[in-house]
Each structure stands twice: as structure tokens, then as C-alpha cells.
Chain A
Amino acid sequence: MADKPAIWRENNLQFRGLKSLPIDLGKGVEQ
């Protein structure tokens, strides 16, 4: 698991979005 939480922007009711979305991508699949 990513060790930090997602952080929402909190200054805009109309245009919603996140400041950051920390993710653990895991091992991934060879391309």
C-alpha cells in the first residue's frame, strides 16, 4: 500500500480534483 493518503483540493466546489494520489504500483507486469 502507498504509505500516504490521497489529498483533495478543497478550494473549488465546481472543479473537483486531488492534489496528490500516492500509489504503490506493485511489481508490475513485464512489457
Chain B
Amino acid sequence: MDSQMLLDFTDHNTVRDPYRAYAWLREHQPVYWCPHFKAWFLTRYSDVIAAQVDTKRYSSNRMQQLVDAQIAPEKRAQLARFVELASRWMYSQDHQDHRDSRHLLGKAFTPRTLETLRPIIEDITQGELSGLERQTDLMANLFNRVPALILAHLYGIPREDALKLRRWTDDILIFLVGSLDPDYGPEQALKGVEEMYAYFAEVIEQRRKQPQDDLVSRVLEASIESDSSTDQVLAQIVFILVAGYTTSADQLCIGLLHLLEHPEQFAALTADLDLIKQAIEEMLRFDSAGSFSHRVLKEDVTISGVTMSEGDLVYLMRGSANRDPAKFPDPDQFDIRRKPNDHLAFGRGKHFCMGTVLFKLEAEIVFTLLLTRFPGLS
């Protein structure tokens, strides 16, 4: 296959399995201008990690550039509202604004706070496992449900509202990465985003009047201490959903698929569930649900003899970095005993994912209970 075909990132086969394209780029064009995304791709581990931690030259404030790169000029005005909303997420912020937003969620996401969720996540998972039929679609009937129900518990919202969350997060992702579906683009997605903000604005208002023992109430409490506005609170509350739901559901599902595609690894894990934490790290490395992040350059940057210009959009291809043979021996081998396993699935530096501990706890519980109860699943 020639490199032109290999590097067609609009091709469904490449989207499904981009790892051969990434391998080619790491070797031949580690700093690659992707015409489809109108962005540079960094694909080597060393370049990705360097960019992740360099907040001086690589800005996270990229919503406008993402929209400009993907949406025709005549349609951009419709998306101004989305850019305005999403630019307040911590994900899109730099320096002091970012620190302030992160502080709002800090108390709610400490390892100790999250460990108190263990029995709740166990109950949710056991409840869902009990309802499964022998022949089932685990994406729809388990992996999509458990993270939604955990988030519903965190937010203190009704279980029946939890499953609305997937559609809203999918709508937001259309803005972040575009859609290859011609019938469902940003115009349709904007409606979902507006609904989601209205829903959470109402939740915040209720908690302000009547605080509960939940995440929204804790964030509101922190906002009073730091004198943050309601808009700042709303932005971070919504962002938890954007960052935490789809990625968790997808990562659980992808992880199980790779286990099943490697029967000797599956057998080793079911025989010794003490390997579960290592296995989860390998699932994250081997095929990360969130496979890249983006930045905007604040000045010209030259890597491997290629100069990228101030204002350019740069994609940090973590999925590629995690398969870089310069970092991981036999990177295309799925090995649940791999150690060390210093993958970049959650990023690095000041923007390191705040949900890391929650996801790992969730994955540990879901896989342990699933494989204990159904060791013969196939």
C-alpha cells in the first residue's frame, strides 16, 4: 500500500485501525501535516510527551482553531456559541484560568474521595451484571450503562436521566473531531449541547438552594471559596461529562475486545485476577479510547527539521506514542504483564486527566466482577 492511501484519515479502515499509519509516520514523517485535519501530527513518544508538558509554547486554548479547521467559513458563525462555552472548560484553558478551574474539581477527585465510591460502583456493576442475558451486547448493556450510572450518582441526578448523557457527549465530540456522517454535523449537535447546558444549569440551581452530598454541591462549595462564577461552575460540571463518560465506556469495551482477541492473555487474567491493574494499564496503552489531544502553537517550533508556525494546530498522537518501539519493546504485542508501562493515555503535565483514578477504579471493579461471574465469556 502506498503512503497516500495509508495516510487517508478519512478512510474508515484507517479510522478503525490507524496503527499502521502511525507506525509509518513515526518512521518517515514524525512531524506530519495532515491535510484533512489541517493540523500537524506528532507521532513519536518523545515529541508527544515534550509537547504535553510544554504549556509555554503549546496552548490548550484551541476551540476556535478546531472549528476553523473543520467547518466551512460560512457556517462558523453558528458555532460561536459552542466555542464560547467550550473555551471555558479546563481542557481549553491555560495558566491561571486553568488552575482556577482545576481547583474547583480538586476536592471531588482526590483518590481518597474516589475510594469512597468503591462500594457504590460495585453495587451498580453487580446490578447491571444481574440483568444480563446470556447472549448480549456488552457495549449497550454494560459498558455504556455503568459509567453513566456512576456519573448520575456523582451528579446526584436520577438514574433514568443518566442514559441521556451519551447522546449529549456524542454531540459535543462532533465539534471536537468532526463527523464523517453527512446527516449529523455541528448544526444538529448544537441543539444537544444547548439541552445539556440547560439541564445542568437547572441541577446547579437546585443544589445552590438545597445542597446535597454530591459532586455538584462540592464544586459549588469550592466556587464560593474561590469566588468563581456560575458560568465557571457550569463549564466544569459539563466538562466532567464530556471527558469522563464516552471515553470510559469506550475504553472498557475496547479493553475487553483486546482481551478476547488474545485468548492466552484472557486465560492468564481469569486464572489470576491479581493481574487486573496491570491488564488495565495495557488496555490503555494498546488502544486508548482518547487517542490524541490538540494544542495551538504560541510561537514557531521546529522538530526533526520541520518548522511549525505560531497559530498552527498540533495534534499530539498519544495512540501512536503508546506504540512507539523507542519506548515500548514489541509495542504491537498486547501483554497484560508489561512492566514498565509508562503510557500516555491520560496525557501528562498540568493537563493530566483528573479522572484517571476514577477510571482505573471503575475498570478494576467492572472487569473483576465480570470475569469472576462469567469466566467462560467469549
Contact = CB atoms under 8 A, between A and B. Distances in A.
B138 A23 contact: yes
A11 B254 contact: no
Interface string A2-31: 110010101111111111111111111101
B135 interface: yes
B291 A13 contact: yes
A14 B177 contact: yes
A9 B378 CA distance: 21
B177 A18 contact: no
A2 B376 CA distance: 12
A16 B289 contact: yes
Contacts of A29: 372-375
A20 to B, nearest CB: 5
Given A26-B377, A29-B375, A15 B138 contact: no
Contacts of A14: 173, 176-177, 290-292
Nearest to B261: A6
B257 interface: yes
A24 B253 contact: no
B112 interface: no
A17 B378 CA distance: 19
Given A11-B181, A13-B177, A18 B376 contact: no
B289 A23 contact: no
B134 interface: yes
Given A14-B176, A26-B378, A21 B373 contact: no
Nearest to A26: B376
A10 to B, nearest CB: 4
Contacts, number: 112
Contact of B16 (A10, A20, A26): A10
A24 B378 contact: yes
B375 A15 contact: no
A16 B253 CA distance: 10
B120 interface: no
B2 interface: no
B15 A17 contact: no
Contacts of A28: 134, 373-374, 376
B114 interface: no
B140 interface: yes
A10 B378 contact: no
B373 A17 contact: no
A16 B288 contact: yes
Nearest to A27: B376
B180 A11 contact: yes
A9 to B, nearest CB: 8
A3 B253 CA distance: 18
Interface of B: 9, 12-16, 18, 126, 130, 132-140, 143, 173, 176-177, 179-181, 246-247, 249-250, 253-254, 256-257, 287-292, 319, 372-378
Interface of A: 1-3, 6, 8, 10-29, 31
Top 5 A-B residue pairs of the complex, sorted by shortest distance between their CB atoms: A26-B376, A17-B250, A10-B12, A11-B180, A14-B177
22 contacts: A10-B15, A12-B179, A15-B247, A15-B289, A16-B287, A16-B288, A16-B291, A16-B319, A18-B254, A21-B139, A21-B143, A21-B256, A21-B257, A23-B378, A24-B377, A25-B132, A25-B134, A25-B136, A26-B134, A28-B376, A29-B374, A31-B126
